Structure 1
Amino acid sequence: MISIAERHQQIIYKLQNEGKVNVADLCAGLDVSSVTIRKDLKLLEDKGLLFRTHGGATLNNPYTIDRPVNEKEKIQFDEKLQIGAAAAALLQPNDSILIASGTSVLALAKCIKPQESLTVTTSALNVALELLRHPEIEVLQLGGLLRKSSSSVTGPYAESILSDFSFSKLFLGVDGIDLEFGLTTTNVMEAHLNRRMIQVAQKTIVLADSTKFGKRGFGRICGFEDIDHIITDSGISEYIVKELEGMGIKVTIV
């Protein structure tokens, strides 16, 4: 039987390669009981080397917090612009698209340079204001309760308006992507509106920088069966890419 130090080294090595570990997998791989593995994970967490989660552990704090949009915009700024540019390249002439809220979809709005007409419906005030400078773009701003931290609207009024439309693409920003829990945001009302957006769009494209993976927000938006395409940056682990592609999701890395 291997020593405690060797066991801890193998746990950290697996974490660094896969981003997360599962108690059952560790038990099988290291030939010890779940009680032993849970003790190991607690010791490693006490040393600040990992964060324990339900049934396992992760390298990064899995829980997101709500931050003002002007603060979030500075995080992974260059990566978000590259993600936005890749998303903008997917637009077709005379498209009718839906853009949710968040700094990654704001980066998309900054990268849109329409050659022909484009119709954009959005819940985000900052996205609408960014697109107003383009005469080729018709902008429909959803109404509702304004969230000051995200400069976006939520609530039943915004959801009811969506019933009258159908969109070729939804560009969705999220606060967390967890392989077990799905896609999340920090606000429950925003999560509910995002679910309604998915229902009225033919294709859902998620824009998320690599720091969002392995994180969970308070409000669950959906599972991976509702997602068609994820655009992210090169910081994403190969393990997560393989898992997503195994679920039939197209992954674009910028």
Structure 2
Amino acid sequence: MPFGDLDSEAPHARGGYLLMVAQQLMWECLMSFDGGKMKSDETVQDLSALFTHERRQQIACLLGEQQRVTVFALSNLFSVSEVTIRKDLAWLEERKLLVRTHGGAVLAPPGSVEQGFNVRERLQPDEKERIAEMAARLVQDGDSIALDASTTAFSMARFLRERRELTLVTNGLRIGMELISSPGISVLIPGGMLRQESFSLVGTWGKSVLQQVHIKKAFVGAKGFTLSEGLTDVNSEEVELKRAIVEVAKEVIAIIDHSKWDQVAFATFCPLERIKLIITDAKAPKKMIEQVQSRGVEVWIA
């Protein structure tokens, strides 16, 4: 049962537990339901002991996974008052992460806002992992490639650790840190302004560096993808940097899960005709895949 569907008239939440693990800059939130009671009082104590910003981060993560939540269910899960939860939802709405509804909230419309890296990393993790693994098979020893700062590109970096004589250009700080101990990989991170939302560097400095390099393959994620608009993203600075990557790459490979199809974000950074290959998952719309293939773009299902 989805988290937002917990019966609001029940005296207790139908159950579930949330396991919070801190891993560097990421909070992972996992939830399941069992029986009709919280699995243990200790779990409830852990959740009720969260600081305000931690609880709000968990709520944002749950929204990313479940699409909607209720005040009643969140109050029971975190063992805080409904007044406190409403304040949390109001705070998140101010930052355009959700839209409040009667008795709860829903995820903000796709393409309208930029979610933080920590939240995005929790969305479609299995699909992203499979896409990343398939994409990594296209990278050979001695290649020169570019990865953007997307969460799928970050997943892909984990499959590249053993490559030899690989030159990798990225504006993603998490990707750079992931590969820092790989002796066979030379990582080039263009300079620029640090963006907390995506753990990336953007700006004219990075663009000028990219204009001086030659990239064989560029692997890019996106907030949205349509036939008419191509690959789109939310932030204008990120879009400019991605455009620079696309311009210098011989081949552009889109690594996007099914949730990005038929969605349009703020601005286009890569038109459809510039894409050589799209790697996606089995939930991507079949009719749209056929339309893409009819335009001469390959589509692989991970």
The aligned counterpart of 1:250 is 298
Cα displacement (A) at 1:181: 2.0
The alignment-based identity, stated in percent, is 33
Cα displacement (A) at 1:220: 1.6
How many correspondences in the alignment?
195
Correspondence for 1:152 among 188, 196, 200? 200
Q: 1:215–1:84: structure 2 CA closer, same or farther, 3 Å change rule?
A: same
Aligned-partner Cα distance in 2 for 1:62–1:70: 17
Cα displacement (A) at 1:133: 2.1
Tell me the alpha carbon deviations over residues 221-253 of structure 1, each in whole angstroms, 9 at most, x when there is no partner. Answer: 121011111110001011011011111111010
CA contact (8 A) 2:111 2:233 kept: no
The aligned counterpart of 2:187 is 139
CA contact (8 A) 1:124 1:153 kept: yes
Moved more, 95-104 or 113-122: 113-122
CA contact (8 A) 1:144 1:153 kept: yes
Cα displacement (A) at 1:62: 5.1
Aligned-partner Cα distance in 2 for 1:202–1:181: 21
Is the aligned partner of 1:70 residue 2:118?
Answer: yes
Correspondence for 2:251 among 203, 226, 232? 203
**Which amino acid counterpart does residue 187 of structure 1 have in structure 2?**
N
Q: State the TM-score, normalized to the length of structure 2.
A: 0.62
Correspondence for 1:236 among 276, 284, 294? 284
The aligned counterpart of 1:220 is 268
Secondary structure, in 3 states, of the residue corresponding to 2:215? coil
CA contact (8 A) 2:111 2:223 kept: no
Tell me the alpha carbon deviations over residues 11-56 of structure 1, each in whole angstroms, 9 at most, x when there is no partner. Answer: xxxxxxxxxxxxxxxxxxxxxxxxxxxxxxxxxxxxxxxxxxxxxx
The aligned counterpart of 1:6 is none
**Which amino acid counterpart does residue 175 of structure 1 have in structure 2?**
K
CA contact (8 A) 1:81 1:111 kept: no
Moved more, 155-164 or 174-183: 174-183
Cα displacement (A) at 1:108: 0.5
CA contact (8 A) 1:62 1:214 kept: no
**Which amino acid counterpart does residue 228 of structure 1 have in structure 2?**
K
Aligned-partner Cα distance in 2 for 1:80–1:231: 10
Aligned-partner Cα distance in 2 for 1:250–1:168: 17
Matches within 5 A, 1:81-160: 81-160=129-208
CA contact (8 A) 1:93 1:117 kept: yes
Aligned-partner Cα distance in 1 for 2:170–2:247: 15
Secondary structure, in 3 states, of the residue corresponding to 1:75? coil
RCO higher in 1 or 2 (8 Å CA, sep ≥ 6)?
1
CA contact (8 A) 1:169 1:204 kept: yes
Q: 1:163–1:74: structure 2 CA closer, same or farther, 3 Å change rule?
A: same
Structure 1 residue runs without a partner (length 5+): 1-60
Tell me the alpha carbon deviations over residues 44-78 of structure 1, each in whole angstroms, 9 at most, x when there is no partner. Answer: xxxxxxxxxxxxxxxxx553420110110010001
The aligned counterpart of 1:36 is none
Aligned-partner Cα distance in 2 for 1:90–1:128: 20
Aligned-partner Cα distance in 2 for 1:113–1:222: 28
CA contact (8 A) 1:121 1:139 kept: yes
* CA RMSD after TM alignment: 1.4
Correspondence for 1:175 among 223, 240, 245? 223
CA contact (8 A) 1:64 1:215 kept: no
Secondary structure, in 3 states, of the residue corresponding to 2:113? coil
Q: 1:252–1:158: structure 2 CA closer, same or farther, 3 Å change rule?
A: same
The aligned counterpart of 1:189 is 237
Structure 2 residue runs without a partner (length 5+): 1-108
The aligned counterpart of 1:4 is none
Secondary structure, in 3 states, of the residue corresponding to 1:86? helix
Aligned-partner Cα distance in 1 for 2:121–2:111: 19
